[in-house]
Chains A and B, each alone.
Chain A
Amino acid sequence: MSELDLDALIDDPAIRIVVTCGSGGVGKTTTAAALGLRAAERGRKVVVLTIDPARRLAQSLGLTELDNTPRAVAGVGGDGRLDAMMLDMKRTFDEVVLAHATPEKAEQILANPFYLALSSSFAGTQEYMAMEKLGQLHKQAVASGDWDLIIVDTPPSRSALDFLDAPERLASLLEGRFLRLLLAPAKGPFRLMSTAVNMAMSVMNKILGAQVLTDVQTFVAAFDTLFGGFRKRADKTVALLREPQTAFLVVAAPQNDALREASYFTERLRQENMPLAGVVLNRVTNSEATELSAERSLAAAEKLEEADKSPLTAALLRLHADKMQQVVADHKRADRFKRGHRSIPTVEVAALADDVHDLAGLRLIGDLLTA
């Protein structure tokens, strides 16, 4: 079992991308923001890409404008810089279309009902767009030298794995026969298609209605030239994630489901040859008075209550007993996780009483992450 040294990680100039991932509600975004601030104040030029930050956290980073571009965070000390942005998935998608299609085609795509549904309300697009944005930021960082460290928060997916699977899914989709099939009528004679394909087309027509199929076909035909670029960029981003300049941080809280998700994720990263830096065990309950156990604290409280003495002390002892129960439970689960993953560096972060809502709070988290 080794300690995860996050200062060494963010100080390492060879590390250019840090990805925080984990299940929802474990403090992923806060961890990403706190590391970004700490890295900046230690001299790195950092951009943090957040997906869905808590309002107060967003305010603490000055993320009030939703213009889909990184903005400088005010109040950062040291020689580095910190920029932050919040992902706007529809806008990112639109920008890709505008950047890579002819104006006429772009207009066609942006107005297509199928595209509108795909880019704004359908699930899964957020993952594609997070990857797309990461690719863009990386390109900009390399070209302009504006940043030497990109910290990416991952979308609050139904599963942490969606983020990894999105580009692969896109790639396999683009190679799929169905897409070619949808394009075929626009391109070549129908009679060349196999019986199965013909049957499939007629079924699609029947089920979806002619209008939907036409919308999809128009969309796909207009989008055809863009698909190649999508594929290439998705492949590139996946390759980027496998490079040694990337470090994945899996964030978990000491609850069974979050730890289970974290185990699953670390295993998956290993299979994918993606560089896992370690696991952040967040929000672990701690006490400065562990010598007074839950049992003894509770017994002492009961003794006072029976003797009808100092109800205030009794209440504080009961509070401490509750806390110690939590301390024991959290450490038991955290230790079990560490024993099960001996080769993975981990760091425990103590739970805070208050939500983070300013840079001072983020600095404190940064201290705890590297204590």
Chain B
Amino acid sequence: MARLHVVTGKGGTGKTTVAAAMALALAGQGQRVLLVEVEGRQGIAQIFDVPPLPYVERKIATGVGGGEVFALAVDAEAALLEYLDMYYHLGRAGKALDKVGAIDFVTTIAPGLRDVLLTGKVYEATRRKAHGKLAYDAVVVDAPPTGRIGPFLNVNHEVADLAKVGPIRNQADAIMGMLRSDVTRIHLVTLLEEMPVQETLDAVEQLEALDLRIGSIVVNMVRHSPLDDEALALAVKEKIPAAELTKGLRAAGVAVSKELVATLAAEARDHAVRVGLERENRDRIDALGKQVTELMLQPEGIDHGALIDLAEEFRG
């Protein structure tokens, strides 16, 4: 069963929110979940309204049924020193690297190595054992956006190309092995708009070409239309009958003016045009043949309560 859930999406689609809701949904099934952030934005802390996360796993929420969500903001430089210490037991030498600016170097000129360290930390947390069993039932990663997700997840493959032998090569192979296995699923968050949908389609193609597995497409911020198909068709053709609308508004006790009638019809038209585009985009998503999850728009914005609502939608 998949235990490592990688959540990506175009900027602005709400991938951090979706990752958080997914973690809460899994905790709601009684699981012990680690929610990981890798981009240094402290988005998780903001959503859960807790102080900025240190490079330490800390509990941020409790689910019903005894589940828990822990959160971790991975910092590449700290991860590098940790990594060096873990594999090479470098006390002084680690400091020496820092002193000559090597740490700065690897995380600056070769930001790819940053991805190596970030994915390495995710790998470590996913397979970590405590008291003879897995430390976490599931790990949810708020991953880089769709534009970067392929290179991010595939970085260890690149490393394997660069390093033909040695411990780095072994580690890289092990990480790629996990990311390509049944353990890992990638979830793509999108809105029903052109750009995010296009990026989603591109990302699916790219990820599958890299032998990575898609879990689901999450359509976020969905709004249900109060108009039925018949009304939508009238609206899009600008054929909402003004007489009926005038009569209806009077019956509803609204002060009627020509302008109001025209405005309501125009709003219906704009809405119908958008619904039409959304349906086209939804068809493009459906054509992928992947599992699709819809999450409703939270008009009041995202707070802890909204996250819990979204988590429930996840569990369906």
Query: Residues of A at under 8 Å CB distance from B?
Result: 23-26, 52, 54-56, 113-114, 117-118, 121-125, 156, 158-159, 169, 172-173, 176-179, 181, 196-197, 199-200, 203-204, 206-209, 211-212, 215, 253, 255-258, 260, 287-289, 291-292, 296-297, 300-301, 303-304, 307, 309-310, 312-320, 322-323, 325-326, 329, 353-355
Contact = CB atoms under 8 A, between A and B. Distances in A.
9 contacts: A121-B158, A156-B147, A158-B41, A291-B260, A310-B244, A312-B244, A317-B252, A329-B299, A353-B273
Interface stretch (B25-33, B96-104, B177-185): B96-104
B99 A316 contact: no
Given A25-B12, A123-B148, A207-B168, A181 B248 contact: no
A197 B100 contact: yes
A253 to B, nearest CB: 8
B9 to A, nearest CB: 10
A199 B93 contact: yes
Contact of A322 (B101, B102, B168, B223): B223
A354 B268 contact: no
Contacts, number: 238
A209 B41 contact: no
B12 A203 contact: no
Given A122-B110, A123-B115, A326-B299, A313 B12 contact: no
B195 A288 contact: no
B66 interface: no
B297 to A, nearest CB: 9
B90 interface: yes
B270 interface: yes
Contacts of A257: 43, 46
Interface string B222-263: 010111100100100000110011011101111000011001
Given A55-B194, A313-B249, A315-B231, A289 B104 contact: no
B145 A24 contact: yes
A1 B112 CA distance: 43
Contacts of A354: 273-274, 277
A177 B162 contact: no
B55 interface: no
A204 B102 CA distance: 9
Contact-residue size bin, chain B (C-beta under 8 Å from the other chain):
35 or more
Given A123-B148, A319-B268, A209 B253 contact: no
Contacts of B155: 121
Q: Chain B binding site: helix, strand, loop or mixed by DSSP? A: helix
Contacts of B61: none
Contact of B263 (A179, A203, A287): A287
A173 B109 contact: yes
Contact of A203 (B41, B97, B152, B240): B97
Contacts of A199: 92-93, 96
A203 B93 contact: yes
A181 B108 CA distance: 16
Contacts of A200: 93, 96-97, 99-100, 102
- Nearest 4 interchain pairs by C-beta: A24-B11, A25-B12, A313-B248, A310-B248
A25 B43 CA distance: 16
B84 interface: yes
Contacts of B11: 23-25, 156
B65 interface: no
A178 B94 CA distance: 14
A249 to B, nearest CB: 18
Given A121-B151, A124-B111, A300 B163 contact: no
A304 B252 contact: yes
Contact of B240 (A55, A215, A258, A316): A316
A123 B194 contact: no
B162 A114 contact: yes
Contacts of A318: 226
B139 to A, nearest CB: 20
Contacts of B162: 113-114, 117, 211-212, 215
B260 A315 contact: no
B5 interface: no
Which of B111, B168, B231 has the most chain A CB atoms closer than 10 A to its own CB?
B111
A289 B268 contact: no
Given A123-B151, A158-B41, A354-B277, A209 B163 contact: yes
Interface string B27-69: 0000000000001110100100000000000000000000000
A237 to B, nearest CB: 18
B264 A118 contact: no
A173 B248 contact: no
Given A289-B264, A289-B267, A355-B277, 12 more contacts: A25-B10, A117-B162, A123-B112, A177-B101, A181-B102, A196-B100, A256-B302, A288-B263, A301-B252, A309-B251, A310-B251, A315-B226
Contacts of A24: 10-12, 145
Contacts of A118: 109-110, 112
Contacts of A304: 248, 251-252
Given A196-B100, A322-B226, A113 B252 contact: no
A188 B157 CA distance: 35
Interface in B158-181: 158, 161-169
Given A122-B110, A177-B101, A209-B165, A320 B198 contact: no
B266 interface: yes
Contacts of B267: 287-289, 316, 319-320, 323
A38 to B, nearest CB: 22
Given A156-B11, A158-B144, A314-B248, A117 B163 contact: no
A354 B165 CA distance: 53
Interface in B179-233: 193-196, 198, 223, 225-228, 231
